[in-house]
Amino acid sequence: MNNKRRVVITGLGMATCLGTDVEENWQKALAGISGIKKLSLPDAEKSPVQAVGSVSSTDMGRIENELGEDAAREGENRTLYALWSAGKALENASLMQYDGNRNRFGVVLAAGLGINRLEDIQRWCGKENDFDLERFGREIADVHQESLMRNNANRPAALIARKFGLNGYNATITTACASASQAIGTGYRTICRNDADIIVAGGADSMINPVGLVFFVLLSAAAVSGNNPSEVCRPFDRKRSGLVMGEGAGVVILEEESHARRRGARIYAEVAGYGSSMDSYKVTAPHPKGVGAESSMFRALKDARMEPDNIDYINAHGTSTKLNDAAETLAIKNLFKEHGRNLSISSSKALIGHLLAASGGPEFIFTTLAVNRDKIHPTINLNNPDPKCDLDYVPNKSISRTVRAAISNSFGFGGQNGSLVVKKYTAQASG
With a CB cutoff of 8 Å and minimum separation 6, the contacts of 30 are: 375, 377, 398
Determine the Cα–Cα distance for residues 312 and 48; give it in Å rounded to an integer.
39
Residue 57 CA from chain centroid, whole number: 21
Helix (H) or strand (E) holding 429: none
Cβ contact 257:250 at 8 Å: no
Q: Judge whether 317 counts as a catalytic residue.
A: yes
H/E stretch holding 143 reads none
Question: What separation in angstroms does the CA of 316 have from each of 35, 152, 224?
Answer: 18, 30, 22
DSSP string, 77-92: HHHHHHHHHHHHHHHH
Q: Are 385 and 399 in contact (CB under 8 A)?
A: no
Distance in angstroms (rounded) separating the CA atoms of residues 53 and 250:
14
| Cα 156-157-161 angle, rounded to 5 deg | 115
Query: Rounded to the nearest 5°, which phi and psi values hold at 213?
Result: -65, -45
Put residue 242 in one of left, alpha, beta given phi > 0 → left and psi -120 to 50 → alpha: left
Whether 377 is a known active-site residue: answer no
Annotated catalytic residue, options 259, 287, 317, 377 = 317
Q: Is 228 helix (H, G, I), strand (E, B) or coil?
A: coil
Distance CA 199, CA 188 (A): 8
Which residue is catalytic, options 17, 233, 287, 354? 354
Cβ distance 366 to 377 under 8 Å?
Answer: yes
Torsion of CA 49, 367, 387, 396, to 10 degrees: -70
Specify burial of residue 289 (Cβ count, 10 A radius: 0-12, 13-18, 19+): middle
**The total number of residues written for the chain in this structure:** 431
Looking at the DSSP bridge assignments, the partners of residue 172 are 109
> Hey, which bits of 146-240 come out as E strands?
170-173, 198-205
Report the alpha-carbon distance of residue 349 to residue 83 in Å, rounded. Answer: 22
Distance CA 70, CA 278 (A): 37
177, 192, 233, 389: the active-site residue: 177
Is-catalytic flag, 177?
A: yes
Pairing between β-strand 105-111 and β-strand 198-205 as defined by DSSP bridges: parallel
Question: What is the set of active-site residues?
Answer: 177, 317, 354
